[in-house]
Amino acid sequence: MASGMLSTFLKRGAIWGFILVELIFFSIAGEQLSLSDKAFMDLDNMLLLFKQSAPIGIIAIGMTIIMINGNIDLSVGAIFALAAIVLLDSMTWPIFAGLGDWAIPLAWILALLAGVLLGALNGFIVWKTGIDAFIVTLGSMLGYRGLVFIYNGENPTSHLNWTLVDFAEAQWLGLHTATWFLLGATFVIWFIMNRTVHGRNAYAIGNNREAAVNAGIRVGPHMMINFMLIGFLAALSAVVFYSESGSVNPNDGELYELWAITAVVLGGTKLTGGSGSIISTFGGVLAIQLLRKGLGHIGADTETVNLVIGLILIAVLFLDRQLNIKGKEELRV
Amino acid sequence: MTGQSPSAGADAPRTPVLRLEGIVKTFPGVRALDGVSFDVLPGEVHALMGENGAGKSTLMKVLGGIYQPDEGQIIVGEKPVVMTSPLQAKATGIVFIHQELSLATELSVAENVYLGELPKRSFGRVDWKTLYAKTNEILGRLKVGFDAKTRVGDLSIANQQMVEIARALTVDAKAVIFDEPTASLTDAEKVVLFDVIADLQSQGVGIIYISHRMEEIFKITDRISVLRDGQYRGTLSTAETNEDEVTQLMIGRKLDLSRNVSHHDLGDVTIEVKGLSCGNLFQDVSFQVRAGEVLGFYGLVGAGRTEIAETLFGLREPSAGQIFVQGEEVQIHSPADAISKGISLVPEDRKGQGLVLGMSCRDNMTLPQIEDLKAGPFVAEGAEIAIFDKYRDNLDIRTPGWRQLVGNLSGGNQQKIVIGKWLSMHPNVLIVDEPTRGIDVGSKAVIHDLIRSLAAQGYAIIVISSEMPEVLHVSDRIAAMYSGKLMRTFTSDEVSEDNLIQAISGLKSDQAAAA
């Protein structure tokens, strides 16, 4: 049936179509409105766009698996900030002083470990208490952010290691280090969700928790693994970003959880769980970054950008709903 | 049979309360309704029958204004009506009692009954006094044992259904449509429902009664209209037809519900339960099932049958008692434990508890065992497809392919997926709770045959059912439950409909035997 295939295509490929529309719009509008004489789709500009997508993007990939699993994690912004502090501060610790540049991998491992532990704590509480993940991570969002402030008050934590900065600023096959990490995270998580037992069970739990329990699937451990994964990815995002910038403010990463959720939802993952796609989230991340960059390119200020993204999010979900209703009516027969 | 209610048509011509003329509804590629015409007279109970997928639901959606027909018209009283919304249908006097209850469980009965139409006082305040008074008046007509202030969530399913019916009675209903109203009712509750229907009938309301249950159809209806594959197959007068004729019209073949006695030898005791209790749900239940045997559990809803199944499957913790599988005592604290001991459960609520509707047939079938199928950390898709193919062939599952979402299959095929899921784990004990709930007549026989053939293959099977013909048909022995107690276990020689009913109504088994 042609109409069925069309609506399936529209649903699956919607985000990529949207990205295409953005590219065309900003290229044309850029000709007319941009103050710079560079084209919007200039190669350097596009490479930069990927790099700038990385911090939110890596977190959004993790948020996708959490949401497919039927949960949500609001604490990722705070984990991001805390992991950044662990990264930058640990490199100055006296015990690492004699190691030279070997302090770098140790600092990375410590920061990532911090992320995994904080995520594990979230997952453990959700598992053992049965409290909704929204509430648990709302609490830990405040709690983890509190730890960030306890660490260094209102002051930024800074440490620049030039070896690290070189690594973070490097380009390999044209793509920046951060971009490679985003692509890597996307691929690995896609693989986990689509090819492993854990991924399959995560979908099943999100779609019908009771049926999953009745099939002997232990729901708790799977949820905990997912929280550890997102903790890891939030820390990875921080590690990649702060290796380059070298300074973290205690407010950094605020609202990241909401940006990540926005990207996930734009990519078509359901808030109710059970369905969603890692690749589409990647598309969602790019679409948001394109919008920011594009609007900036044609001279809009930040406030306008947020307004437009908000409106587009609602419009996209409305469209998605219409397509889904249409699809359902066809399936009923 | 009601007897005194007039068989339709022959007497003085009466204006139908509702008439459908040549309704056609097509979806891309499918003619879901193909020229359906029938009418409902005032004071008549008109059965609408057909297998799942015959077009009953689509027809009801057309009637309720959810779908617009491509051709044909709906005539209420004398006037053709174009139904544009459920609200309009209700205003016209067409009221639905849906199979799936749509109630706000946190609100009171009264608020549910007048949902959307709460009586108001000045400044938009709710007129609670009028609300409760009007609701209690309706509840009085229904002779129910709860009042307007009760929270709906505290009511049994049967009573929740009464709330739905009460809601229908708030408007001047011309036609009331019951969609499988007895699906979750016990026999006693059915009697109350039939009284309510008779009451509506005497007030001149026309009733469309959708059900798969022949027994009920022949008890309370005046005429029967049959749909098959979206086509209208004719209307029969209930008094002048019989079950065979109706079944043949529906499926084009006969259905055998005669008693089924084991023709194979039984093996050793596979599962034995001694003194099993779970709080006040059931107490001191003991039974055993041999390999190759089907033990049926029969009883009223709430008698503790499902709870026993859930305890054996590790969904509930027993408060006392022992469970033995193949002679060894086992401790079961979770479904994972039960599965590892070879106990599997095909649950009552297939869609809610048994299947992940958004996943493919294959993924559902291998859900409990992908841990065992993995190659390294990865899912072994080849092995999965092999399992799916095997049980698709063994169980004759009709699906276009393993990629098909389970949610798109018919009830009978969904049930086979759940059964296949467990068979592929090679269990010792298969517990099947309400094996044919919501499954059409043709597929019921298939599921029954499947249960018998699985017994013949040496599985120990426990079947829980609220339908007496089903229990009698598939079981070698029948355990009668009443209020959490196992009253008596009948062998197939001992059992009769009479002594079974007495046992599940709480009469002492020796009395039952004497009677």
- The pLDDT, as a whole number, for residue A286 is 94
The answer on B190 and B114 residing in a single domain is no
For residue B336, list chain A residues with Cβ-Cβ distance below 8 A. 216-218
Q: Is residue B370 packed enough to be buried (19+ CB in 10 Å), middle (13-18) or exposed (0-12)? A: buried
CA angle A214, A216, A220 (to 5 degrees): 100
- Quote the pLDDT of residue B325: 93
Evaluate if residue A10 carries a pLDDT over 80: no
- What contacts B305, CB < 8 A, 6 or more positions away? B297, B298, B299, B433, B464, B481
pLDDT of residue B1: 39
Final residue in a domain of this structure, among B148, B171, B194: B171
> Cβ B378–A195 below 8 Å, yes or no?
yes
The pLDDT value recorded for residue B378 is: 81
- Say how far residue A285 (Cα) sits from the centre of its chain: 8
With tokens 């409760």, the residue in question is B132
Percent share of chain A, pLDDT over 90: 47
Task: Give the residue-averaged pLDDT of A27-45.
Answer: 78
Question: Is B393 within a domain?
Answer: no
Sign of CA dihedral A65, A68, A72, A74: positive
Tell me, yes or no, whether B89 and B234 share the same domain.
yes
Q: Cβ of A200 and B379 within 8 Å?
A: yes
List residues in chain A touching B: CB distance below 8 A: 1, 3-4, 195-198, 200-201, 203-204, 207-208, 210-218, 274-275, 329-333
The whole-number pLDDT of residue B317 equals: 92
Rounded to 10°, the helix A103-129/A133-152 angle is: 140
- Is B326 part of any domain? yes
Contact yes or no for A200 and B357 at CB 8 A:
no
Q: Are residue B157 and residue B234 in the same domain, yes or no?
A: no
Look at chain B and report how many structural domains it folds into: 3
Distance of CA B506 to the CA centre of its chain: 24
Which segment of A77-91, A205-219, B115-129 scores lowest on mean pLDDT? B115-129
Q: At what angle do helices A278-297 and A177-195 cross, to 10 degrees?
A: 150
CB B305 within 8 A of CB B463: no
Q: Is residue B507 part of a domain?
A: yes
Residue B332 corresponds to which tokens in the numbers above? Answer: 């079961």
- Residue type at position B80: P
DSSP for B393-447 reads HHHT---S-TTSBGGGS-HHHHHHHHHHHHHTT--SEEEEESTTTT--HHHHHHH
Paired with B297 in beta bridges are B464, B479
Length of chain A: 333
- Residue of B315, B338, B379 with shortest CB distance to A197: B379
User: What dotted CATH number matches A39-321?
Assistant: 1.10.3470
Query: Quick check: B354 and A211 CB within 8 A?
Result: yes
**Is residue B218 in some structural domain?**
yes
Mutate one of A127, A198, A214, A332 to test the B interface: name it (highest B CB count within 10 A): A214
Domain annotation covers residue B260: no
Whether residues B142 and B202 share a domain: the answer is no
Q: Answer whether A204 sits within 8 Å of B367, measured CB to CB.
A: yes
Cβ burial of A252 (10 Å; 0-12, 13-18, 19+) is: buried
The verdict on B6 and B40 lying in the same domain is yes
| Residue whose pair of structure tokens reads 């509840």 in the numeric block | B139
Residue B293 placed within a domain: yes
Same domain, B447 and B470: yes
User: From CA B67, how far away is CA B58, in angstroms rounded?
Assistant: 8
Q: Are B20 and B64 in contact (CB under 8 A)?
A: no
Q: Are residues B290 and B144 in the same domain?
A: no
- Counting DSSP H helices and E strands in chain A, the numbers are 13, 4
Model pLDDT for residues B220-246, shown as the tens digit of each residue: 999 999 988 788 888 989 988 887 788
Is A209 within 8 Å of A218 (Cβ atoms)? no
Positions of chain B with pLDDT under 70: 1-13, 28-30, 52-53, 251-263, 506-515
Residues of B in Cβ contact (< 8 Å) with A3: 28
3-state class (DSSP) for residue B132: helix
What pLDDT shows up at residue B404?
A: 86
| Residue B338 domain boundaries | 269-354+429-514
Residues B186, B230: one domain?
Answer: yes
Instruction: Please tell me the predicted confidence (pLDDT) of residue A325.
Output: 62
Would residue B274 count as lying in a domain? yes
Q: Helix or strand or coil: residue A268?
A: coil
CATH number for the domain harbouring residue B334? 3.40.50.300
Kindly list the domain boundaries of chain A, sorted by start residue. Answer: 39-321
Would you state the pLDDT for residue B199? 87
Same domain membership, residue B75 and residue B49:
yes
pLDDT one-digit tens code per residue, B350-402: 888 889 888 889 989 998 888 788 877 788 888 888 999 998 888 888 888 88
Same domain, B56 and B24: yes
Q: From the CA atom positions of chain A, what is the Rg in Å? A: 21
Residue with the bigger pLDDT between A264 and A318: it is A264
Chain B contact set for A8 (CB, 8 A): none
Q: Are residue B71 and residue B134 in the same domain, yes or no?
A: no
Query: B228, B253, B278: which is the final residue of a domain?
Result: B253
Contact B352 A330 (CB under 8 A): no
CB contact under 8 A, B347 and A195: no
- Rounded to whole angstroms, the Cα distance separating A24 from A43 reads 15
User: Do the beta carbons of residue B92 and residue B174 sit within 8 Å?
Assistant: yes
Mean pLDDT in residue range A238-266? 91
- Judge if B135 and B163 occupy the same domain: yes
Domain-ending residue, one of B126, B143, B171: B171
Q: What span, in angstroms and rounded, lies between the C-alpha atoms of B478 and B299?
A: 10
| CB contact (8 A) between residue A208 and residue B355 | yes
Q: How far is B93 from chain A (nearest CA, A)?
A: 26
Q: What are phi and psi of B400, to 5 degrees?
A: -60, -20
Structure-block tokens of residue A137 = 């991570």
| Residue B420, in any domain of the structure | no
When pLDDT is cut at 50, 70 and 90, the band that residue A257 belongs to is very high
Separation in Å, CA of A54 to nearest CA in chain B: 27
